């Protein structure tokens, strides 16, 4: 069922996706772990058409560097304007191991939020970057009779 009164999502140009990625610093890294997908929050920085994040040893690092492509999603919202956006970067993650590569990231001011050793610098070289911007739906737009049934069951 479609409703012509509901505005369609705007597909974002690549340069707008990168601008939005620069405007926030937290995203969700999707990786493949053994036989299932997993998602980890990461703080990242945009660096010359790539994304860079820091992490410690563990599942996230091993999965990111396993050779299987990864995805990173970042979102933002302007509550006053009632508009939200979402950008997804898909690509290959590689470890920055050469001293100069790591030193180049120092200027990004990439400081992890979580305590602990985060001495692995990981770069995602994108194969694709896509995004969309959309109007936040008012609650009555997505209300259904099930909402009343659930609320009645709780009362």
- Is the pLDDT assigned to residue 4 strictly greater than 70? no
- H-run or E-run covering 18: helix 14-23
pLDDT of residue 144: 64
pLDDT digits (tens, 9 = 90+) for 50-87: 999 989 999 999 999 999 999 999 999 998 899 999 99
Cα–Cα distance measured from residue 5 to residue 61, given in angstroms and rounded to the nearest whole number: 45
List pLDDT tens digits, range 7-35: 789 999 999 999 999 999 999 999 999 99
Which residues, listed in sequence order, are joined to residue 1 by a DSSP beta bridge?
A: none
């Amino acid at each position: 069922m479609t409703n012509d009164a509901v505005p369609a999502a705007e597909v974002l140009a690549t340069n707008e996706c990168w601008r939005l990625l620069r405007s926030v610093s937290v995203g969700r890294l999707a990786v493949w772990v053994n036989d299932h997908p997993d998602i980890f929050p990461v703080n990242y920085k945009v660096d010359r058409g790539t994304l860079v994040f820091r992490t410690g040893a563990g599942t996230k690092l091993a999965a990111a560097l396993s050779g299987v492509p990864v995805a990173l999603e970042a979102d933002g919202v302007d509550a006053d304007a009632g508009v939200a956006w979402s950008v997804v970067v898909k690509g290959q993650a590689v470890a920055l191991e050469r001293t100069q590569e790591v030193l180049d990231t120092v200027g990004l001011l990439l400081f992890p939020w979580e305590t602990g050793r985060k001495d692995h610098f990981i770069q995602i070289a994108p194969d694709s970057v896509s995004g969309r911007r959309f109007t936040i739906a008012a609650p009555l737009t997505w209300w259904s009779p099930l909402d009343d049934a659930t609320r009645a069951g709780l009362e």
